[in-house]
Structure formats: structure tokens, C-alpha cells
Structure 1
Amino acid sequence: MKKLVERLWPDTVASRAIMVLVAALLAFHLLGFWAYRVGVESLATAARDRGLAEHIVSIKRAIASAPAGPERDRAAHDLSSASLEVHWSKVSLILGSAPMTERTKTMDARLKELAPELAAESFRVGFADDGALGSGNADAYRHMMLVSVQLADGSWVNFSSSALGAHQSIDWSVIAVTICFGVGIVVVALLLLRWATRPLRDLAIAAERFSLDQTPQPLPENGPIEVRRAARAFNTMRERIQRLVTERMQAMAAVSHDLRTPITRLRLRSELLDDDATRDLIDADLGEMEAMIDSTLEYLRGGVSSEMIRPIDLASVIETIVDEHIDQGHHVSLMGLASAPVLGRVLSLKRAFSNVISNAIKYGETASVTISEIDDHLIIAVEDEGPGIPQADMERVFQPFVRLEESRGRETGGTGLGLTIAASVIRTHGGHVSLTNRAAGGLCVTITLSKADQIKGRQPNAPSGYSTDGADPQRQIA
């Protein structure tokens, strides 16, 4: 239930502001309509009561001035109207024993207040549904008000009004006008809110597209003061990040240059050693130091490169890496597409796939690389036959300088930056890297990249291999 409410709850500033505005307008209109209804009914009731009191007094006087008998009865009928019936009789229409309810007392006091002349005479007020009628079915006269005024000769003028208690009908035209005003206000507010929140959308887009390898374009500082402050803070933050990364790279470049000089001197001096075993150990340590420097610098770049993005054939890049490992005597196989066009940087992608394939060879002794495509994406799977990675460490191995001592001992060398650098490079190319353990044992590294337009001169779906005339759709390099 909570998730359903969260999904239905507006998620943007404009939609939430519109919801608040609609709720406020609805509450305002309901309150206004209630006040309008109360005011109209109050005015209508006061006017009706005043008219009724005046009619009772005037009709009573007219009938009293007429001769007794048929003349008074005829005058009563002549003075009747659609909303007020008048009858003259020898008896009161209202029983003297009729109960006095709160409604009856209120109307009695109201009429006497409006017509003080009635207070000095015998005057009765009742309602048919309160039992004021002496006969007949009271339900047929429900809500009918009855008034009886006694004349000087003891006869009675009886009044009955069905207008009392009748409810005012709903004025739908007023409601329609109110709804039209409300819809107009919401539409105008929506347009204004979209205009006012546009700088926020621009800020979000700029943050999503932020990249260290691009020339920063200042975000326009417009809109409300809060948005201008946020845009100004974002521009300042981006400049600081660019400056910090540049200074860090310059510092590391200087340190690496200073370290390479003594490493080179040590390597030259090791050549003077007569002990071959000792010389080989020193050369291996110096080579590991150089590899650590290169890996650390590559990691600190964070995917930043001055190399231009251009169309490349990723299959050719991977094939070059595989050939290098084959020349070194490693067991590597390459299968799948002969052409894998992408947009990217050759050196960065080559470094990323070199790290992944080298890890597979280092920890699994063999590596199997498969290039395939699904829709508009290229899928590169690198499988090994090593010990795999515990499920709990699948995410942790992407962190810098992390090495799993249980399965990847120090004797394998490395700095724990291979997968970190590979993931960073793939991420800057709009792809992602995932790890899974194979059912048969070993690790499978899956890299997904967006496919670019076909590279001119290559057949993307042609049979793969070292020759284009073979019928085998796969190539094996071992």
C-alpha cells in the first residue's frame, strides 16, 4: 500500500505545486459555495418571513373589514396565492392542544417580531408534520406551515404555506462558472510553474552530463533566487572539481616522473650483477613498481583522456589484445562477431579489455572471449576457469586497491586497480560491467556497450575468423 501511494504521489516540483494549488482551490470553492448557500438561504428565509408576516396582517385586515359570512369566505379565496392559501372559518385550523416544538416557538417569535400587531391578538402557529392539523394525513402536508389568527367576532383566518421549509435548488450555473475559473487558474499556474522550474531541469541535466573530460560549459544562472544560487553553486563546484583533478594529475605525473628516474638507474645497475637469480628478482620488483605507477595514474585519471572519440571496431581491438597474449604463450579463445562498431577511444578501451582479459589469464590460466549483440548493444563476455568471486564481494572488487586474499594471493602481483579502471573506462563510454560466477566454475565478466553505426568496409554479421571464406561463424584463437 505504501509503495502504491509513493508511486501515485507526484514526484516533481511542478506536479506537487499543482496538487497543492488544486487542493487549495477546491477547499476555497467548497468553503465559498457553503458561505454562498448559507447567505442566500438566510436572505431568502428573512425575505420570505417578512413577506409572510406582512401578508398575514394585510389579509387579516381585509377579511375583518368584510361582512361576516360568504363575503369573508369569498375574500379569503380571492386573497389566496400559489404560496399562501387563505381560508375563513368559525374554528382554528390549528388544534389548541397541538404541541409547541422548538421550530414552532422560533417561527412564532419571528412572526411577532416582524408583525407586532399579531402579538396582541389570538395567534397560533404550527406545522402539519408536528401534529398541528386536527384531521387528515399529515404526511400529505409535510413541511407545511399553518397560521391561524382570530378576528374580533371569534372567527378565524387560517393560512397555510407550503413554501416554508422548501430547500433552495442548486444553482448549477454558479457551479459551472466556478469550475471554469478553477480550471483556468490551474492551466495558467501549470504553465507558469513549468517556466519557473525550467532552470531546475537544466541544473539536473547539467549534473547528469557532467564529465571531467569535457570543457565545462557554465550553467545559465537565471530563474528565482534559490535556483540562481543553486546554479551558481553548481558552476563553482564543477570548477573546483576540474581544478582539483587537474592539480592531482599534475602532482602524480611529477611524482611518477621522479620515481621512474631512480627505477631506471636501479635497472641499469642490476645489469652489472653477476648473480642472475638476484638480477631477475630485482628486475621483477622494478617492473611491478612501474606497473603500479601506471595503474595508479590510470585510476587517478578517472576515465579522463585527451584522445578524441571516433568510430572504432571493438572486435579488432580485442583481437589485437588476444594476439598479444597468444604470442606470450597464454591460452585464449575469441569467438563471435567479426565486427563490433562502437564510438569511443581506442587506447582507453584497449586498456580496459586488457585488464579484464589479463585478470582472467592471471587467476584462471585460460580466457574465453565472446562478442555478441542484442538489439543495439554489444555484449562482450570474458570467462575464465579460476576460483571465481564470492557473491558478497561482487561489488567490492570494483573498489580501488581491493584484492581478495582468499582467492587472489599476493603472488599474482597487481595493485587491485584492474577492474576499477576497466569499469571506469566502460562507464565513460556509456556501458556497464557485471560479474557472475559460472556454473562450471570460474568467473564471467560481461561488458555491455552501445553499438554504433556500421564501420565502413566491415561486414558486421559476416562469419568470424582469420579468413572470410570459411563457413564457420566463429573464430578460435588458442
Structure 2
Amino acid sequence: MPRISLFWRTFLMLAALIVASLAATLGSIRLLDPAPPEQRLAWELATVLNLTRSALVSADAERRLLLLDALARDEGVRVIPLEPGDRIDATAAGPRLRAIEPRLRQLLGEPTQVAGRVNGIDGVWISFGIEGDAYWLILPRERVERQFGPSVRLLGAIALVLSLVGALVLSRLVNRPLALLARAFGAVSRGEAPPPLPVRGPIEIAELNRRFNRMAADLAALERDRTIALAGISHDIRSPLARLRMEIELARLDEAQREAMAGDIDRIDRIVGQFVHYARIAQPPRGEAVDVPTVIEATASSYRPLVASDALELSIDTGDTRSWKGDPTDLIRAIGNLIDNALRYGRSADGVARIALRASATPAGITVEVADAGPGVPAEQLDRLLRPFERMDAERSDSGGAGLGLAIVDRIARRYGGSLRLASTPGSGLRARLELPGLAPAPRVPATVLR
């Protein structure tokens, strides 16, 4: 079942409540006033016509003319004889006037006609008889149609549309604090400093935002302290390492001992470097146009000695990648860590690491996929590989890593709002797919004119 966001869930609940309320209201109106407007108007017109006919029948000839003049002058009601040659325009009567005609026939009897235009004159024309003679009762058309007013269905549709728009706005206002909080959490997960959330509004939302702001400030302070501490540790460790390397070169040692000790020092230096790189990812990335194929080729060139020694088979396909907006150091570090991880843990049974690197462009940025032909990893243990300081087994403890390679790549991906996904089947190798969206262009600041 597809998941529905809180915004749409709130909107649908409000919409359902509004529709049910309108349906109940319209049903109540119909129960309280079951007669349709056409029937009520037919009753009123029949009453006017009967009163007019009774007045004309009871009045003498002189008073009858005065009565007709008074009706035309004061009420806008005219009475004229119905001639056989009258031209009745059947198309001029609207649907509501046509609906009145059968109801008037029920009230006045046959033959009663209702027309909207006779002899080219607009109005509401109703035929009736007086002592065997046929006459037309003519009423102003706007006076009759005004009695209809808008239909109940039209009023209900307008109320429904306005209510749904109001529900949409209300849902937006209700869910806006949660949307801001979700974006702020997304910024924290990418290692960015989120903007402070507003602490006004409902008490619960204000208190939640206040606590989040305090947590974000504490995390930022913790990141700064950790970066400073790791930088200091790096300096304190690398300085003695440099002296040890120099003393090893000057010491009287055979070549095998010198290479073993130099290898240990390089291993310690790489581990320290990984600590520092992992800490510095929390800093905001700098954005510039990066030539992706050039960066990939330059990164792969550092592995040429291994390729020349037949310890590595590296195939590269840059695909349709061109330019990417981001920090080139992050891209170099991510690709290098993926290759190093495949080189360290993805060797085939013959001891050769066969690695395939493929890159492609996406609408948001680029995708880099690195696959090896090693023994693979059980699917239930893939998540462990993305955790800092996690390694699969004790046999790999002497591989020269600190368990930060993939964690660094994952943190770089989240820094840009991307992802690192691992897939593997035991015996078929590990495949790492890195998705890196490009940074959004910085907003243009209008130039200030000095006067």
C-alpha cells in the first residue's frame, strides 16, 4: 500500500469532513423544503393569473381598462388578447420556464402555454382564458427568473470548492512546522548547519523547535571540537612518524626490515589520514565545476603500478558524464576509497583484484558504480560496512584500514543529499553505487551601486 504524506492525509480528512457536512446540510434543506423552486414559482404565477382573471371578470368594462393600466404601470403585468397568428419562439424559453409549463397546466388546466418570446417581444408569456376568449399574461422576464436564484447544486459546488481550498491552506499551515523540521533534519544528516527554526506559534511546536535548535547548536559545537581534536592528534602523530621514517632510512638495517618498518609507518599514516578525512566531511562543501572524466582518469592513474604488476585489473567507463557541481576533493576521495575497498577485500581466488568502474550522468548529478569480483558479502551484513570502524571479520584486521573507507564515502554522499548503496551476492563480488547530486547554484546577490 503506498504511503501518504501527513499533508495529504490531513487534507483528505478535512475534505471528507467537509463533503459529509455539505451532504448533510443539502439533505436537511431538501427535507425542510421539499418543493423545488419551479413548483413554488408555478404556484405564485398561478395565483397572480387567477387573481388577475377574477379581477377582470368581476370588473365592468370601464373599470377593466383602468385595472389593466394599473397592472401595467404598477406591477409590470400586461394582459393582451391571444391571436391565432401570434409567432411563438419555442427556443427563447429556458429550461426552467419549460419546467414551469407542465406544473401550470396542472394548476390552471388545458390549454396553458408558457413562452419566452412572442411576436419578437421577450418576456414570460402565459396563456389563459376569460369567458371563452384567449389572452396572454405578460410578466417581465427578469422579475420571474430572479425568483429562481442559483440552484442548490451550484451553491453546494461553490461551497465545496471554497471549503477544499480552505482545507488545503489549513493543511499547509498545520504541516508547515513539520516540513521545516524535516528539512532541518535533512540538513543535519548531510553535515550542514540548519537555519534556526522559529520558536513562535503553538506551545508544543515552539518547544520542539527550541529543543532542536539547542541540539543543532550542540552538534555543531561537537563537530568543531572533534575536528580540532583530530587535527591536533594528526599533527602530534605524524610528526613522530616523520622522524621515525627518517631514522629508519639512516639506520643500518637490511632491506626487508626497512621495507617492513616503512610499511607499518605508512599504514599508521593512512589510518590517521582517514580519521582526519572523516572529521572534515562535516564542513560545508565548496562548489565548483568539476570535469568528471578527468578526475576519474587522474584518480585511476595512481593505481598504474598495481596494474603493471598484474595485481589489479581496472576497467574504467566514464559514460556520458561531463561536469559536476561540487568539491573535487570529495569526488577524488570517494572514488579512491571505493577502489581501495574493492582492492583490499575484492580479490579473486587467484589473488588478482578485478575492478570495474562505471560512471554516468543523472538529471541531478552523477552516479559512480564500482564492482569487484571477490567473494562478496552476505546481504544481511551490508549495512555494517557503512558504519564507522566496522570490518567484516577478524581476518581483515591486518589489511591496513581503520574501517572508515565506506563510512567516509557514505558521509560524502549524504553531504550532497545523495546515497551509497551496496549490493552483493556471496561468490559474485560487491557492487557499490554512489549517487552524487550536484550542488545548487548559489543565489545571485544584486550588486550595490555606490552613489
TM interval, short-chain normalised: 0.5 to 0.7
Q: 1:12 to 1:298 in 2, by over 3 A?
A: farther
Aligned to 1:199: 177
Aligned to 2:38: none
Please provide the CA RMSD for this pair: 4.0
Work out the CA distance in 2 between the residues paired with 1:230 and 1:9. 18
> Which string of whole-angstrom CA distances, capped at 9 and with x for unpartnered residues, describes residues 107-149 of structure 1?
xxxxxxxxxxxxxxxxxxxxxxxxxxxxxxxxxxxxxxxxxxx
Say whether the 8 Å CA contact 1:366–1:384 is kept in structure 2. Answer: yes
Say whether the 8 Å CA contact 2:416–2:439 is kept in structure 1. Answer: no
Work out the CA distance in 2 between the residues paired with 1:342 and 1:32. 64
How far residue 35 of structure 1 moved from its aligned partner, in angstroms, is 11
The one-letter code of the counterpart of 1:412 is: S
Q: 1:250 to 1:20 in 2, by over 3 A?
A: farther
Aligned to 1:237: 215
How far residue 435 of structure 1 moved from its aligned partner, in angstroms, is 2.6
Aligned to 2:366: 378
Say whether the 8 Å CA contact 1:311–1:344 is kept in structure 2. Answer: yes
Work out the CA distance in 1 between the residues paired with 2:231 and 2:415. 22
Q: 1:202 to 1:282 in 2, by over 3 A?
A: same
Work out the CA distance in 1 between the residues paired with 2:5 and 2:237. 59
How far residue 267 of structure 1 moved from its aligned partner, in angstroms, is 2.8
Aligned to 1:282: 261
The one-letter code of the counterpart of 1:405 is: D
Mapped pair 1:401 → 2:386: no
Say whether the 8 Å CA contact 2:370–2:431 is kept in structure 1. Answer: yes
Aligned to 2:325: 343
Q: 1:389 to 1:294 in 2, by over 3 A?
A: same
Mapped pair 1:445 → 2:432: yes
The one-letter code of the counterpart of 1:409 is: R
Q: What secondary structure does 1:217 align onto?
A: coil
Work out the CA distance in 2 between the residues paired with 1:392 and 1:214. 30
Q: 1:214 to 1:16 in 2, by over 3 A?
A: same
Mapped pair 1:433 → 2:412: no
Q: Which blocks of at least 5 consecutive residues in structure 2 are unaligned?
A: 34-150, 348-352, 441-451
Work out the CA distance in 2 between the residues paired with 1:204 and 1:376. 21
Say whether the 8 Å CA contact 2:375–2:427 is kept in structure 1. Answer: no
Pairs within 5 Å for 1:460-471: none
Pairs within 5 Å for 1:32-51: none
Work out the CA distance in 1 between the residues paired with 2:205 and 2:159. 30
Work out the CA distance in 2 between the residues paired with 1:430 and 1:226. 29
Work out the CA distance in 1 between the residues paired with 2:363 and 2:152. 58
The one-letter code of the counterpart of 1:208 is: G
Say whether the 8 Å CA contact 2:245–2:262 is kept in structure 1. Answer: yes
Bigger Rg, structure 1 or 2? 1
Pairs within 5 Å for 1:303-382: 303-305=281-283, 307-328=285-306, 329=308, 330-337=312-319, 339-363=321-345, 364=347, 365-373=353-361, 378-382=366-370
> Which string of whole-angstrom CA distances, capped at 9 and with x for unpartnered residues, describes residues 389-441 of structure 1?
222222221111111227x6334221111111112112323332223347983
Pairs within 5 Å for 1:111-122: none
Work out the CA distance in 1 between the residues paired with 2:25 and 2:321. 67
Number of residue pairs matched? 314
How far residue 17 of structure 1 moved from its aligned partner, in angstroms, is 4.9
Q: Which blocks of at least 5 consecutive residues in structure 1 are unaligned?
A: 38-172, 454-478
Indicate the percent of aligned positions where both proteins have the same amino acid.
29
Work out the CA distance in 2 between the residues paired with 1:237 and 1:9. 24
Q: What secondary structure does 1:383 align onto?
A: strand
How far residue 185 of structure 1 moved from its aligned partner, in angstroms, is 6.0
Work out the CA distance in 2 between the residues paired with 1:375 and 1:174. 50
Q: 1:236 to 1:337 in 2, by over 3 A?
A: same
Work out the CA distance in 2 between the residues paired with 1:197 and 1:354. 42
Aligned to 2:377: 389
Work out the CA distance in 2 between the residues paired with 1:439 and 1:181. 62
Say whether the 8 Å CA contact 1:199–1:227 is kept in structure 2. Answer: yes
Aligned to 2:241: 263
Work out the CA distance in 1 between the residues paired with 2:358 and 2:161. 59
Q: 1:32 to 1:225 in 2, by over 3 A?
A: farther
How far residue 319 of structure 1 moved from its aligned partner, in angstroms, is 0.5
How far residue 311 of structure 1 moved from its aligned partner, in angstroms, is 1.3
Pairs within 5 Å for 1:206-221: 206-210=184-188, 214=192, 216-221=194-199
Work out the CA distance in 1 between the residues paired with 2:406 and 2:392. 12
The one-letter code of the counterpart of 1:294 is: G
Q: 1:374 to 1:7 in 2, by over 3 A?
A: closer
